[in-house]
Amino acid sequence: STPASFRAEATGLIAPPAPVANPALQHVLNVQRDVVSAKVDFDARLTVPPTFGAAFPAGRFGDQCRSVAQMISAGMPIPVYKISLGGFDTHSSQRAKHDGLLAQVAQGLSALRDALVEKGAWNRTLIMSYSEFGRRVEANDSGGTDHGTAAPHLILGSTANITGGWYGTQPSLTDLDARGDLKWQIDYRRLYATGLAFLGLPAGGVFSTAVTPVDGLLKP
C-alpha cells in the first residue's frame, strides 16, 4: 500500500460512534478510528508530497523507497516502516536473478539514504534487512540453491549512530552443520534487539530470553 492508495481506501470511513460494551466490536471501532485519524494526518502532511534530488530506481521497490522517504520527510509519526522485495527464493538460475535483485536493493536504498540526508532526516533513521531463511551452500541441479540457514544482513545508518563494518565471523564453507548448511554466527534476534535499542526500547519486552544488541554497532 502506498500513501496515495491508503488515503483513497480510507476516504469512505467515518469516525466511529461512542464506546460500546462489546470488547470485540470496540476493538474494530478503535481500529477504524485510528485509520480515520491517520488519513487526516496523511491529508495534512502529504497533500503535496516532498520531492528529492535523489533518483529512485523504476519499479515497485524504488516506489516503496520513495514513499518511505516522503513520509519520513513529512514528519509522519510512524516509528517503523516495512518495504519488501520478493524473488530471493532462488531455486533456479540464481546468479542472473541475484544480479538484478541486488541492483534494485543497492539503487533503492542508496536513493533512500540520499533523500533522507537531503531532508535532514538520516541521523534519526536506521535501515535493517530481514529474511525468513538463508540458502544452502551446495547448488542444486537447476543452477540455484534450496532453503538453508544463515544469511547475510544489512544495517544502514548515519555515522552519528552506528559504527560501520563487518560484524560476526565469515561462516566456513567446509565446517557445516549436520544438514550441510552454514553455521550461523550471530543470533538473528540480536539484530532486532539492535533495532529496539535504536528506538530506545528494551529487548526484554519482546524476547522471552535475554537478547542483547550486536556488540559495538550502535554508538552510545
Q: Where are the domains of the chain?
A: 1-48
Residue 186 grid cell:
550471530
Cβ count within 10 A of residue 10: 17
- DSSP letters, the chain, are --HHHHHHHHTT-----S--S-HHHHHHHHHHHHHHHHHHHHHHHHSS----SS-PPSSHHHHHHHHHHHHHHTT---S-----------SB-HHHHHHHHHHHHHHHHHHHHHHHHHTT-GGG-EEE---S--B-SS--TTBS--B-S-----EEE-TTTB--S--S-PPPSSS--TTS-PPPSS-HHHHHHHHHHHTT--GGGT-SS---PPTTTB--
The reported pTM is 0.86
pLDDT in tens, 128-160: 999 988 999 999 999 999 999 999 999 999 999
Q: How many CA atoms lie within 13 A of 70 on its CB side?
A: 19
Indicate whether 217 pLDDT > 80: yes
Give the whole-angstrom CA distance, residue 213 versus residue 186: 10
Question: How many angstroms separate the CA atoms of 35 and 147, rounded?
Answer: 38
Report pLDDT digits (tens) over 37-49: 888 888 888 888 8
Ranking 12-26, 119-133, 158-172 by mean pLDDT, the lowest is: 12-26
Q: Which amino acid is at 52?
A: F
